[in-house]
Amino acid sequence: MAESPNEALRTLYSAEMIAARVAELGQQISAAYTGRPPIVVSILKGSFVFAADLVRALALPLRIEFLGVQSYGSGTVSTGAVQITQDLTHPVEGQDILIVEDIVDTGLTLAYILSLIRARGARSVKVCALLDKPSRRRVEVPVDYVGFTIGDVFVVGYGLDCAELYRNVPALCELLQPPAP
- Residues at the site binding ligand IMP, with contacts judged by CB under 6 A: 46, 71-72, 78, 101-110, 154-156, 160
> Three-state SS string across the chain, please?
CCCCCCCCEEEEECHHHHHHHHHHHHHHHHHHCCCCCCEEEEEECCCHHHHHHHHHCCCCCCEEEEEEEEEECCCCCEEEEEEEEECCCCCCCCCEEEEEEEEECCCHHHHHHHHHHHHCCCCEEEEEEEEECHHHCCCCCCCCEEEEECCCCCEEECCECECCECCCCCCEEEECCCCCC
Residue 114 touches which member of ligand IMP, Mg ion, none, C-beta under 5-8 Å by kind: none
The nearest distance, CB 46 to Mg ion, in angstroms, is 5
Active-site residue list: 105
Size of the site for Mg ion (CB under 5 A): 2
The nearest distance, CB 154 to Mg ion, in angstroms, is 10
The nearest distance, CB 108 to Mg ion, in angstroms, is 13
Write out the residues near Mg ion by the rule CB under 5 A. 46, 161
